[in-house]
Amino acid sequence: KAGVTQTPRYLIKTRGQQVTLSCSPISGHRSVSWYQQTPGQGLQFLFEYFSETQRNKGNFPGRFSGRQFSNSRSEMNVSTLELGDSALYLCASSRLNYRGQETQYFGPGTRLLVL
């Protein structure tokens, strides 16, 4: 079974631009979560989508948004990029809502550099 895939793997943008990252979950998984990882803040939860609905959201500004499609694939968008948005963006999928006993499977991440 193929794992979680993320595209692109690397991206360079400039301040003020916007970016869209894509995540394809494991086949049959209906939940997708997004995380931002930086050396200073560690791994921080952005949001979770299940059945095309945002079910959970972390403490990030409205510039960070996402969506999930009917095939469970998900995209995350960051508008008006700032230097501090440079990070590794990780996507994780789980069969159902990530609750209780459910486990998440992570992709390799997209490394975003904002200049």
Partner 1 sequence: DAKTTQPNSMESNEEEPVHLPCNHSTISGTDYIHWYRQLPSQGPEYVIHGLTSNVNNRMASLAIAEDRKSSTLILHRATLRDAAVYYCILKGNRDDKIIFGKGTRLHILP
Instruction: Provide the β-strand partners of residue 110.
Output: 89
Going by C-beta distance under 8 Å and a sequence separation of 6 or more, which residues neighbour residue 97?
31, 48, 50, 55
Q: What is the distance between the alpha carbons of residues 22 and 11, in angstroms, rounded to a whole number?
A: 12
Nearer to partner 1, 16 or 29 (CB): 29
Q: Reduced to 3 states, what is the DSSP secondary structure of residue 88?
A: strand
Among 55, 67, 73, 95, binds partner 1 (CB under 8 A): 55
Asked whether position 56 contacts partner 1 by CB under 8 A, the answer is: yes
Q: Which stretch binds partner 1 (CB under 8 A): 22-30, 52-60, 66-74, 76-84?
A: 52-60
Asked whether position 58 contacts partner 1 by CB under 8 A, the answer is: yes
Give the Cβ contact number of residue 38 at 10 Å.
13
Q: Which amino acid is at 36?
A: Q
DSSP assigned state of 11 = E
Asked whether position 62 contacts partner 1 by CB under 8 A, the answer is: no
Query: Residue 46: CA atoms inside 13 Å, Cβ hemisphere, count?
Result: 26
Q: Which positions from 73 through 92 interact with partner 1, judged by CB under 8 A? A: 90, 92
Asked whether position 35 contacts partner 1 by CB under 8 A, the answer is: yes
Least distance in angstroms from the C-beta of 105 to partner 1: 7
Binding site for partner 1 (CB under 8 A): 4, 33, 35, 42-45, 48, 55-59, 90, 92, 98-109
